[in-house]
Amino acid sequence: MDAEEIARRHLADGIPDDEIVRLLSREVISIKRNRVTPEYTEAFARAVVTEVRNSTGLSGDLFTFEPSGSTMGEFGVGSRGAGDFFAHRQIARIIGRPDVAVGVEEMDDAGAVSAGGDYIVVTVDGMHSRLSDFPFLAGFHVTRATLRDVYVMGAKPVALLSDIHVADDGDVAKVFDYTAGVTAVGEAMGVPLVTGSTLRIGGDMVLGSRMTGCVGAVGVTSHLTAREEIAPGDVLLMTEGAGGGTIATAAIYSGFPEVVEETINLHFLRACEALIGSDALAGVHAMTDVTNGGLRGDAYEMAETAGCRIVVVEDELRSLVRPNVLAMLDALEIDYLGVSLDSLLVVAPPENAAEIKQVVGSAGVAMKEIGFVEEGAAESVLMVNGRIRDFSPKFRESAYTPVKKVVDAEKRDFEEMKAGVRRAADAAIAKKERMLARLRSS
């Protein structure tokens, strides 16, 4: 519960201060219960109203922004679909084109800069938002995800960093359990957690026990395997996958808790370790993890970046999903091609495929050929029984919890929302330029 948000909305509706205090006090008591007195609750509520009044109506570049007219949920930001991809393209526009080896405009798994003849690879992943009540799982899966993003750039991870935020009423133990999940993966892979930050969400203003956070990783390599290297004639190789935070979340909230066990493994990371430590890496054009909107999303992003047509052949795809995970997805009618499977996807010339599969197999991980790259429009398509089908990402990734199935049914006009989002990004770019001019002249 966001006390500031509640007070700000009531104030905007013209509700008198005393009534806002009464309404807000009731909400505070519902969360904090017998841990606070009525006197404290009223004093807290009045202080919130005072702060909201003092911070309302401010104008100018430092206090306002151009609204897009769409909320994060409406536009699907974070939901790994068409809306999310469009929003990230706008973020790339705001960042611009810095002089780097791999930048955000390439929509790769991580960024890279040149340093002393090698490349420093940097990435960050946010924990799955629905694992707030399961801190160890949250820490475990976000750490595995951020290490994946370093590995698929062809880099050896050398350090981790962690940022964890827990709301005001969350138990301090959440921080500890989350950190245990982070370091369980880090220590198993020999990558130390070296720094981080621990804060409350919204300070005193956000009540409840919600937790969120992220884990970042830094790696080093002399050979980048970025998506822009994908070329016509390449083949797609994919490992078996059991999913990570998304599959764990689907399992927990849909009544399949036993499937969570399937996600507790380091298969992906060990497959990457084997590749990076072998001569086969030189024969790899690009690697990615099947996460962003599932294979639908990743194939689309790769095609966009490389400017090629990617054909995914479904013949053996289902066999690469762990049986218990696939059975759950089928039972819940979740499209397995539109959800994060945490498989390793490698793109390479066909003459290198056998060696790559052999190296990955030596790590105990199955890998099969699941498609190819050809000249043509920057698009991804699916071949089923020899026939081509559309394989573009949906507005959101596959709805994988009961709540997501409800939310996914409600949609506004996408083109209308895109116009507002683009306008807001344009305004942010203009503001950045105004601030840069001011800073450079001061």
Q: At what angle do helices 245-253 and 323-331 cross, to 10 degrees?
A: 50
166: part of which helix (H) or strand (E)? strand 156-166
CA distances from 272 to 155, 243, 306, 344, 361 (A): 9, 16, 22, 8, 11
Average pLDDT, the chain: 94
Q: What share of the chain is helix, strand, coil (3-state, %, to 5)?
A: 50, 20, 35
- The domain locations on the chain are 3-54, 98-224, 225-404
Does residue 411 have a pLDDT over 80?
no
pTM given for the model? 0.93
Mean pLDDT for the stretch of residues 145-156 = 95
- By DSSP bridging, strand 193-200 and strand 156-166 are parallel
Which pLDDT value is given to residue 407? 83
Query: What is the 3 state secondary structure string of 278-335?
Result: CHHHHHCCEEEECCCCHHHHHHHHHHHHHCCEEEEECCCCHHHECHHHHHHHHHCCCC
- By DSSP bridging, strand 211-221 and strand 156-166 are antiparallel
CB 73 within 8 A of CB 407: yes
* Nearby residues of 23 by Cβ (< 8 Å), 6 or more positions away: 6, 10, 15
DSSP 341-371: ---EEEEE-GGGHHHHHHHHHHTT--EEEEE
Which pLDDT value is given to residue 35? 93
Which pLDDT value is given to residue 424? 98
213 phi, psi to nearest 5 deg: 175, -175
Nearest to 146 by CA among 197, 204, 186: 186
> What does DSSP assign to residue 34?
G
Nearest to 305 by CA among 97, 86, 112, 107: 107
The answer regarding whether domain 225-404 maps to CATH 3.30.360.10 reads no
Mean pLDDT for the stretch of residues 315-329 = 95
Read off the pLDDT of residues 254-302 as tens digits, 9 standing for 90 and up: 999 999 999 999 999 999 999 999 999 999 999 999 987 889 989 988 9
Does residue 393 have a pLDDT over 90?
no
Fold assignment, 98-224: 60s Ribosomal Protein L30; Chain: A; (3.30.1330)
Read off the pLDDT of residues 152-200 as tens digits, 9 standing for 90 and up: 999 999 999 999 999 999 999 999 999 999 999 999 999 999 999 999 9
Residue 264 forms beta bridges with which residues?
Answer: none
